[in-house]
Structure 1
Amino acid sequence: MKTDPLAQLRAGAPLTTRQQLSLTLQLSWPAIMAKLATIIMQYIDAAMVGRLGAAQAAAVGLVASTTWLFGELSYAAAMGFNVLTAQRVGGGRLAEARNILKQALVLCLGFSVVMAMLAAALSGPLPGILRADRDIWQDASAYFLVYSLFLPALQLNNVAAGQLQATGNMRTPGICMVVMCVLDVVFNTLFIFPTGTIRLGSLALPGAGLGTAGAALGTGLAELVIALYLLHFVLRRNPVLRLQKGEPLRFNRTQLCTMLCIAAPVASEKVILTTAQIVCTAIVAPLGMVAIAANSFAVTAESLCYMPAFGIQGAAAMLVGQCVGAGRRQMARRLGWVTVLLGVVIMVITSGLLYLLAPQMMAILTPNPDIIALGTRVLRIEAFAEPLFGASIVAGGVFQGAGSTLIPTLFNLGTMWGIRIPLAWLAAPRWGLPGVWAAMCLELCVRGILYLIRMAGKRWLPVLEAQGAAHSVSAAEGGPVSTPPEGEMAGDGMPAVKDR
């Protein structure tokens, strides 16, 4: 009978280096495929809109960084609860994990409704705020308005998928993301182009002809379908988190405070990163429509290179979170390094492919030769930063799983606003878009080095507490007390954990 490696991890059984690597790969590949499917969906959107013309492509590219801001806030809200669930599952406190899921669904859905209202109100003035040409204002506003209306669907998707991953189920969210990609193609075909534009042999497919708004509508509907399925799966079919009779929703102040301590720095980090990207978009906008489109398409093409690292990040956060919940401090450190090194190796490979295939990747997105040439140039600059960028992405997941999110946020604040933005602002008038991307390349390298230095230390790991304190904390949260196996306490010296 084959032993479940995650069960061994939670039970305190020793894992060899080969087993650790095998477990990391086993959990990473579904997450990698899910992230690739997500970016392929964006690639499809960009390619379809790119066929409408440079103006429409520039319109979507203009608001892309603002959509990232709201999407990342959605992710941060869900992530705080997901880390708590992983830690409770790792400690065998399953009733608490189910209550955390219920709190996440109620509070995150309410948060997403507020975000949707704010985003919808921002859709009108946003193109003017970003200093764009008036010719693309209408398309840009329409795309962003439709995007904002589907933010609750995106939030439910993040919560349901993240909670499943916290239990070790990476496969179901991965498959669902691939299906979402297929649905996006179908819906985009129906909504973006007029009837008869797309043909299957002699059959002319129907179309709504909504243009850029149709691209946002197709993506939003695909997200909604998958969010509803994942919600059904986690509440009805997942053996750990499915609803149980006699377990009503209880808002737990201790858990919510812990969630905020984890999520708030991550949300701040996402705001720092995405607002800096919005500022970069404003720096690029005066360079002209070709530069805006090339910048947007290059960002989309680059995402294919680094999305595998985000897949490994999800596995890293879950593994480290469960190690923390099980009281396995040293195992958390070892698995952290295994995941980071795996991410760097994969990013070395993908960055080489990015450099070689940059012209072909741009050609898929647009037929415009000027946009292709400029996009190829900046992608080849960025390829040199990808390995260290990958290190920072995966290390970020390690720190999230351990609940150590403040220092990485400060790293991002310092490098984005202290290096990227000033250098991009100085370089844009003289060197154009390549100068902006050179500033980005330098900043990502510095960020990666800082994350690796943080990984090499031990301050991101939970500190020791006395056994009695651990029991009192567990009792205060209303859950069963989980005592780590004797061997693990001897090896890791960590019967309980505390955030640092």
Structure 2
Amino acid sequence: MNMTTADMTNSPYKTIWNLSWPQILMMLFHLMIGLVDVWVASKLGREIQASMGMISQSLFFFLVIAMATANGSVAAISQSIGAGMMLRAKRYVGLCFIIGAILGLIIFTIGFPYRNGILTILQVPEEMRYVMEYFIEVFLYLVPIYYMLIITNAVFRAQKKVMLPLYSMIIVTVTNTIGDLGLGMGMWGFPDLGYKGLAWATFGSITMGAIFNVIVLIKSGDLRRKCIAPLRWMKSAFPYLFKVAWPSGLMQLVWHSGYMVLYSITASLPENNVIALAGMTAGIRIESILFLPAFAFNMTASIIIGHYLGDGKADEAKKFGYRILFLAIGFLSITALLLWQVIYPVTSIIAPEQVVLDEAVNYLYYNMLAIPFTLTSMIMAGALNGAGATLYNLFIFAITVWGCRLPLAYFLGHEVLHSATGIWMAMLISQGVQASIIFYTFSCRNWQKFSMIKKNNKRTSNE
């Protein structure tokens, strides 16, 4: 997609949709990967299924630096392209690629010798230990390759080439599905490797996606030798990436750890804690389907805001932030309303027990009411990411999660209502507070100052 900011301004909603729908499909394929993994693992035994869920959660901590670097990549590259500084954009592509490779190798080098200690910290049950030991070894081998996949997909998004991450995710999904069914269950003449097959299916699929991305970058000229900047340029360019990335990575840790504490608060309820935990787990899975499009709109906001700030059009960037928000709220509110009409039969697919089903629907009631608030937080956070203003996101999410959501969840759940309903109410209230703060920040604060490009078409000697 080679539209200029002027072209985007002339067709704003067409631009938003053209950037969003491939990313919505990409997120759906990402969901399919997880569903196939869980389904095949369930056929192999409860220990395998539990291990697959635990290793997926653990992998997040290994990849958080890659996701933070990806946010820095989108901000730096999109702003450079918006300013017409194509050489700078290409140099940032090369720099991000090199950083991703180095960081992936560092994480592997640090993590691999301590992999069994990590399992001890996670308190992996003895009956799952042999599976987790194999999973974590293979997945650590995969970390440097996974870094390449995440960062190269971010590079494509920053260039508005949103079809390429979709193609990459299709490759990953198809390869993973064939590997899961073939190597995991011995179908189509493949060797039946059981849980080991699941691990290698993930390894192979991520590797295929990363190879595709690297080949595309080489063919497009973005990874040719002449596009790799001199060391002096890298030293001057790296600080901006770091300034954007570190708050982004820390924010993800704050958010993820907050959810872990929320699980603990739910698990320690004085009554019906197991039912509440099961209902929450089932509810989150249904809720995640709704928020796949929300993540796509979040990434679209980052791309567009970065391009407009690079072109020196801060007012138009803000207008697009509002347009994306209102479009996302309208689209997902209608989707949620339609889903609510069949919420019991849909949720019963993963929560067949009646008491768990009732609690899952109770969870979804409060969290679907929070959709306008949740979307406001996600879209505005995406816009601030594109501007490089990740420090705002870190402070807002840290304050509202740890200062509002978790204390309120404990107070309402344990002290007032003595039930999970109090926790779900706290989630709704905290989302409202969070949305209000981040909307005020986007509307009234000078987040544009975090942009790398300060003036329209400003060029510097170190382009």
Fold-level similarity (TM above 0.5): yes
- Taking the aligned partners of 1:286 and 1:131, their CA distance within structure 2 comes to 18
Determine if the alignment matches structure 1 residue 306 to structure 2 residue 271: no
**Unaligned stretches of 5+ in structure 2?**
none
Residue deviations 1:283-307, cap 9 Å, x none? 4566887766654454333221111
- Taking the aligned partners of 1:406 and 1:258, their CA distance within structure 2 comes to 13
- Taking the aligned partners of 2:132 and 2:163, their CA distance within structure 1 comes to 35
Q: In the TM superposition, what is the alpha-carbon distance from 1:256 to its structure 2 partner?
A: 0.7
Which of the pair is proportionally richer in helix?
2
Determine if the alignment matches structure 1 residue 6 to structure 2 residue 3: yes
The TM-score with structure 1 as length reference comes to 0.80
**Amino acid of the structure 2 residue aligned with 1:168:** K
- Taking the aligned partners of 2:52 and 2:452, their CA distance within structure 1 comes to 51
- Taking the aligned partners of 1:449 and 1:360, their CA distance within structure 2 comes to 34
Match of 2:238 in 1: 256
**2:192 counterpart SS class:** coil
Match of 1:494 in 2: none
**Amino acid of the structure 2 residue aligned with 1:258:** Y
Match of 1:484 in 2: none
Match of 2:259 in 1: 277
Residues 242 and 127 of structure 1: CA distance in aligned 2, closer, same or farther (over 3 Å): closer
The TM-score with structure 2 as length reference comes to 0.85
Match of 1:337 in 2: 322
**Amino acid of the structure 1 residue aligned with 2:371:** E
Aligned ranges 1:37-436 → 2 under 5 Å: 37-120=29-112, 123-126=115-118, 129=121, 135-136=127-128, 138-140=130-132, 142-193=134-185, 195=186, 206-210=191-195, 214-237=197-220, 241=222, 243=224, 245=226, 249-250=230-231, 251-283=233-265, 295-365=280-350, 374-425=359-410, 427=413, 435-436=422-423
**1:474 counterpart SS class:** coil
Residues 305 and 93 of structure 1: CA distance in aligned 2, closer, same or farther (over 3 Å): same
8 Å CA contact 1:385–1:444 kept in 2: the answer is yes
Query: 1:15 pairs with 6, 9, 20, which one?
Result: 9
Q: In the TM superposition, what is the alpha-carbon distance from 1:115 to its structure 2 partner?
A: 2.4
**Amino acid of the structure 2 residue aligned with 1:42:** G
Amino-acid identity (%): 18
Residues 465 and 223 of structure 1: CA distance in aligned 2, closer, same or farther (over 3 Å): closer
Match of 1:24 in 2: 16
Identify the range of structure 1 (97-106 vs 295-304) with the bigger mean alpha-carbon deviation: 295-304
**Unaligned stretches of 5+ in structure 1?**
480-500
Identify the range of structure 1 (341-350 vs 125-134) with the bigger mean alpha-carbon deviation: 125-134
- Taking the aligned partners of 2:112 and 2:428, their CA distance within structure 1 comes to 33
- Taking the aligned partners of 1:123 and 1:434, their CA distance within structure 2 comes to 38
Residues 450 and 132 of structure 1: CA distance in aligned 2, closer, same or farther (over 3 Å): farther
**1:414 counterpart SS class:** helix
8 Å CA contact 1:24–1:315 kept in 2: the answer is yes
Q: In the TM superposition, what is the alpha-carbon distance from 1:379 to its structure 2 partner?
A: 3.2
Tell me the matched-pair count.
Answer: 457
Query: 2:441 pairs with 445, 454, 461, which one?
Result: 454
Residue deviations 1:176-223, cap 9 Å, x none? 213322222111113433x3xx6xxxx77652111xx54444233211
8 Å CA contact 1:89–1:322 kept in 2: the answer is yes
Identify the range of structure 1 (91-100 vs 144-153) with the bigger mean alpha-carbon deviation: 144-153
- Taking the aligned partners of 2:199 and 2:283, their CA distance within structure 1 comes to 19
Residue deviations 1:203-244, cap 9 Å, x none? 77652111xx54444233211111110111022136xx3526
Q: In the TM superposition, what is the alpha-carbon distance from 1:367 to its structure 2 partner?
A: 6.6
Residues 55 and 350 of structure 1: CA distance in aligned 2, closer, same or farther (over 3 Å): farther
8 Å CA contact 2:104–2:144 kept in 1: the answer is yes
Residues 420 and 135 of structure 1: CA distance in aligned 2, closer, same or farther (over 3 Å): farther
**1:461 counterpart SS class:** helix
Q: CA RMSD in A?
A: 3.5
Q: In the TM superposition, what is the alpha-carbon distance from 1:421 to its structure 2 partner?
A: 2.6
Residue deviations 1:247-291, cap 9 Å, x none? 555452231111111111111111111222233344456688776
- Taking the aligned partners of 1:400 and 1:465, their CA distance within structure 2 comes to 12
- Taking the aligned partners of 1:467 and 1:415, their CA distance within structure 2 comes to 31
**Amino acid of the structure 2 residue aligned with 1:46:** V
Residues 91 and 128 of structure 1: CA distance in aligned 2, closer, same or farther (over 3 Å): same
- Taking the aligned partners of 1:224 and 1:422, their CA distance within structure 2 comes to 42
Residue deviations 1:122-181, cap 9 Å, x none? 653556545676555554555444433322222111111111111111112122213322
- Taking the aligned partners of 1:138 and 1:357, their CA distance within structure 2 comes to 41
- Taking the aligned partners of 1:77 and 1:62, their CA distance within structure 2 comes to 24
8 Å CA contact 2:258–2:402 kept in 1: the answer is yes
